[in-house]
């Protein structure tokens, strides 16, 4: 399946977690599914929601693990093993409290940086070398304990920027798919405002 790719959004299942900062990965893949006209279905053998689409002659799976964040790797491994996908064909979209809201950072690999979802994926895939798109959600000034923050929803002053971030992150994920990681990194990494302006100038 040389033309098959997987884009995984990380988050927690359940209505109480919808639109929280920690679920921004879900929001990005849902934005892609909406744009591509792809419908979601729960696939119990993977413990994940999947949507299927085609872009520029490529087949793409969108996935939302239903394992809860800390066990995301179980679902990612199940999908990648079933479809015989190499880690380089798997893009993981994840929230990052160490990046300010409005910043995107796509990398071909690297450490989990303390993110339990990425730690689980690294454990189950047996490698750090898989692409990940970190979506900045910011953190409370001076706060060390961030659980309440990441599980909270964006405030009224943040909501408009957060929606724009999700839209641009979805565009970056699509660029990774159709143009390759280097192009997607150079075009979109940085603050969302810069990415929007850069795309207008081209």
- Catalytic positions, written as ranges: 22
Provide the greatest CA pair distance for the chain. Answer: 47
- Compute how many other C-beta atoms are within 10 angstroms of the C-beta atom of residue 114: 10
Instruction: Using the Cα atoms of residue 71, residue 76, residue 99 and residue 140 in order, give the sign of their dihedral.
Output: negative
CA distance linking residue 201 with residue 29, whole number of Å: 26
- The CA distance from 70 to 168, in Å, is 26
Closest to 105 in 3D by CA, of 178, 192, 16, 201: 192
Give the CA count within 13 Å in the CB-facing half-sphere of 16.
2
SS3 state at 96? strand
d(CA 84, CA 2): 10
Residue 62 CA to residue 92 CA, distance in Å, equals: 10
Sign of CA dihedral 183, 186, 191, 192: negative
């Amino acid at each position: 399946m040389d033309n098959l790719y997987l884009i995984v959004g990380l988050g927690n299942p359940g209505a109480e977690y919808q639109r929280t900062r920690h679920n921004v990965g879900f929001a990005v893949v849902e934005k892609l599914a909406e744009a591509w006209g792809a419908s979601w279905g729960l696939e119990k053998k993977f413990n994940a929601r999947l949507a299927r689409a085609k872009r520029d002659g490529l087949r793409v799976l969108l996935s939302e693990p239903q394992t809860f964040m800390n066990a995301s790797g179980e679902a990612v491994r199940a999908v990648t093993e079933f479809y015989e996908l190499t880690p380089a064909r798997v893009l993981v979209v994840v929230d990052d409290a160490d990046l300010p809201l409005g910043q995107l950072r796509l990398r071909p690999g690297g450490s989990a940086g303390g993110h339990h979802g990425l730690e689980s994926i690294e454990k189950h895939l047996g490698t750090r070398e898989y692409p990940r798109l970190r979506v900045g959600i910011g953190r409370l000034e001076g706060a060390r304990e961030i659980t309440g923050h990441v599980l909270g929803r964006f405030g009224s002053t943040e909501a408009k920027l957060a929606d724009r971030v999700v839209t641009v992150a979805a565009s970056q994920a699509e660029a990774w798919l159709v143009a390759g990681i280097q192009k997607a990194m150079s075009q979109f990494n940085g603050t969302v405002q810069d990415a929007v302006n850069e795309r207008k100038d081209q």
